[in-house]
Amino acid sequence: MGWLMIVVSVLIPNIGGIVGGLMTAKSIKNWYNKELKKPEWRPPNWVFGPMWTSLYSTMGYAAYRVWLEYDSPSILIPWQLPWPLKLFALQLLLNWLWTPIFFGLKNITLALLEIILLDVAVVATGWAFYQEDDLAGTLFIPYMLWLTLATALTLAIWKMNPRWRNGVPSKET
């Protein structure tokens, strides 16, 4: 049962990443790559998939470790989960929401505000996890670092693309 729960814990965060990637592939190709100005220091597009897969996997394993600390509470009753796991669910939801806001709505301002909320939620989750299990909290450090880069990139794109700050610009006549 232990290995199965580890696999499930690692897969759950990746589901949102996979769905987000599939939903936004066209937007990345046609909007992100062609329409937006981006800073020279941004990572190449091919880095994002493997990086997020790695981060989703480690955050899932960290959640598994905290879940064990609380004697394996039922994830089917989310309102009864311990506080660190509720924070985990919140940060995961915020993580999953950023992609459709940025690539779907193309609303860079809303994406910037949302990723700042995500930053706070991830730090809170990492800290709460660390209080329960040192390794679980430590596993959030690479996520925090990558998210810092993602936040800086979102801010830079917001600054460089005023036309796209509030979503798809109206047709110019």
169 pLDDT band, cuts 50/70/90, is confident
Q: pLDDT, tens digit, for every residue of 34-91?
A: 999 999 999 999 999 999 999 999 999 999 999 999 988 887 788 889 999 999 999 9
Q: pLDDT, tens digit, for every residue of 7-26?
A: 999 999 999 989 988 888 88
Report whether 125 contacts 132 (CB < 8 A). no
Rounded to 10°, the helix 140-160/108-132 angle is 170
The residues near 10 (Cβ < 8 Å, ≥ 6 apart) are 56, 57, 60, 61, 64
Q: What is the mean pLDDT of residues 89-102?
A: 96
Cα angle 171, 96, 85 (rounded to 5 degrees) comes to 155
Report whether 17 contacts 52 (CB < 8 A). yes
Report whether 142 contacts 22 (CB < 8 A). no
* Distance in angstroms (rounded) separating the CA atoms of residues 111 and 120: 14
pTM for the whole structure: 0.92
Chain-centroid distance, C-alpha 44: 18
Could you tell me the domains of the chain?
2-164 (1.20.1260.100)
Q: Tell me which residue of 45, 143, 157 sits closest to 91, measured CA to CA.
A: 143
